[in-house]
Amino acid sequence: MIQIDYKSHKSIYEQIVDQIKYNTIKGYLKPGDAIPSIRKMALMIQVTPTTVAKAYQELERQQIIETIRGKGTFIAQQLTIQPDKAAVEKARVNLESVLMEFKLLGVDTQQMIEIATEIYKSL
Amino acid sequence: MIQIDYKSHKSIYEQIVDQIKYNTIKGYLKPGDAIPSIRKMALMIQVTPTTVAKAYQELERQQIIETIRGKGTFIAQQLTIQPDKAAVEKARVNLESVLMEFKLLGVDTQQMIEIATEIYKSL
Amino acid sequence: MIQIDYKSHKSIYEQIVDQIKYNTIKGYLKPGDAIPSIRKMALMIQVTPTTVAKAYQELERQQIIETIRGKGTFIAQQLTIQPDKAAVEKARVNLESVLMEFKLLGVDTQQMIEIATEIYKSL
Amino acid sequence: MIQIDYKSHKSIYEQIVDQIKYNTIKGYLKPGDAIPSIRKMALMIQVTPTTVAKAYQELERQQIIETIRGKGTFIAQQLTIQPDKAAVEKARVNLESVLMEFKLLGVDTQQMIEIATEIYKSL
DNA sequence: GTGGTCTAGACCACG
DNA sequence: GTGGTCTAGACCACT
């Protein structure tokens, strides 16, 4: 379910965050679904529980998951879609940075839109 | 010409790389144009020369600039547009990650395309 | 009568304590009133009896409720209003901490008083 | 400058967060001021650097401080005062909980206002 | 069992 | 020097 690339420059906890987010977007994880406990996930992906805990805390901060005391961790009932202005702005800046790469690679607007649309629909 | 955000969590050398890339894309820097020496640039943007050196090294690796011994550093004559398969793939992965943010924020496909197009044309 | 927010980071037993206190303040529970046995309460709010027991124990310590052997548990005849210096001091420290949040959020004194008064009267 | 109560039920990192916040409110720490590096602070208050790091990260998330790569950590130029609706609501709930204590202790509205005002002005 | 916190020590990238 | 991340192991409160 979660694949960690230990060679990646992206930190492990960030990979966990991204992949759980991805799984919620794709619908593989639905609101209310339980996700593995910190210790189980740590065993599954062969990292220390602290690292998983950090990822889960970040996900809870972003309201992707909810933790219930002594019970475990679950996908949030209300999956964001809160027009958080700061978050949109941050995403926009990130997008600009990535699109710069495409521009430099000589991709024209039409091609870029096709690529972006294809990816977006696959999410 | 180059603006560094010292509070940003993006590393300074990466900011330099991105902004020089941006300037070449926008046409503010054309092939053959000289760019400031490491020391001058370091003075201009108030960072240590080693940081600038690292940025220039990265730009050279990406074939955005060329260093001519004894002459200085210049924007490359052949600005990419080389179908570097690995580079495209990397950019695509980055794009997917960023678009995931938009999806989670509840942006629909149409809105996303509008935002991306607007940014792309401004580049 | 008692609503538990399982997602809250406040512990369940603390929520029980607070809500029973709240009900006594509002007069919904009067001195001498019986409150459900540990087991009934546990069934009602879907938690384990040990959690309820812990809450009742804390309430007894604070002299909000009294347990009469073989009879059950009741709201205390003498509802506090005892000038417990330590308790007042503790409440004061808690208040300072909470008011700090308001200050940081830019709430001015007048607004704070309005909010506090409104809440206090609703209790 | 920072006093940790190791016996407190409040976690160490939270005490650090609260006290730095308090110092900014009181004006002892002004925008732009440097705060001790993670390692120095760790030595000062005799805790492990990880714990201080956690506190600093939380403070940065709350935009109380800003970290500058390789330079250190500083009080933010823009001390919040952003009417974050969620934050205000959370503070309000906390206030209600604290005020309940006063009510139970038999403090009347007028007295409560006096106490709250006094504390608020001292902040 | 669960998550939350802390320690002690390590390695890394950055400036 | 700085902050960021990770490990390995521990203790705690809560359910």
pLDDT per position as a tens digit, C45-93: 999 999 999 999 999 988 899 999 888 999 998 776 555 677 788 888 8
B44 in contact with A, Cβ within 8 Å: no
Q: Which of residues 43-72 of D touch strand E (CB under 7 A)?
A: 47-51, 54, 69-71
Which distant-in-sequence residues (6+ apart) come within 8 Å of C53 by Cβ?
C38
Chain D: touching chains (3 or more CB pairs < 8 Å) = B, C
DSSP state letters, A47-113: --HHHHHHHHHHHHHTTSEEEETTTEEEE-SS------HHHHHHHHHHHHHHHHHHHHTT--HHHHH
Are the Cβ atoms of B7 and D68 closer than 8 angstroms?
A: yes
| Pair of tokens at residue D40 | 């120095």
Q: Categorize the per-residue pLDDT at D84 as very low, low, confident or very high, splitting at 50, 70 and 90.
A: low
At residue C66, the pLDDT reads 92
Q: What is the pLDDT of residues A87-119, one digit of tens each?
A: 788 888 889 888 988 888 888 899 999 999 999
Q: Tokens for C86?
A: 């330590």
- Tell me which of B28, B29, B82, B100 to substitute to probe the interface with A (most A C-beta atoms closer than 10 Å): B100
* pLDDT the model gives residue B80: 61
3-state DSSP assignment of residue D20: helix
How far is Cα C25 from Cα D81, in angstroms, rounded to an integer?
Answer: 34
**pLDDT more than 90, % of chain A:** 58
Q: How close, in Å, is residue C76 to chain A by CA atoms?
A: 30
**Pairing state of beta strands B72-75 and C65-68?**
unpaired
pLDDT higher than threshold 90 for residue D30: yes
What local confidence, expressed as pLDDT, does residue C83 receive?
58
The pLDDT, as a whole number, for residue A13 is: 96
Contact A108, B25 (CB under 8 A): no
Q: Which two tokens stand for residue B91?
A: 């950019």
Note the pLDDT of residue B60: 92
The Cα–Cα gap between C88 and B71 comes to: 77
The whole-number pLDDT of residue C50 equals 95
Pick out chain B residues at pLDDT < 50: none
Q: Does A98 touch chain B (CB under 8 A)?
A: yes
| Chains with 3 or more CB pairs under 8 A to chain A | B, C
Check pLDDT > 80 for residue A83: no
Average pLDDT of chain D is: 89
SS3 B80: coil
Q: Cβ separation of B11 and D66 shorter than 8 Å?
A: no
Torsion angle, alpha carbons of D28, D30, D36, D37, to 10: 160
Q: What percent of chain C has pLDDT over 90?
A: 53
| D72 to B44, D52, D114: CA distances (angstroms) | 22, 13, 41
What does the block give as tokens for D16? 């650090």
Quick check: C4 pLDDT over 70?
Answer: yes
Q: A53 exposed, middle or buried (CB, 10 Å; 0-12, 13-18, 19+)?
A: middle
How confident is the model at residue D14, as a pLDDT?
Answer: 93
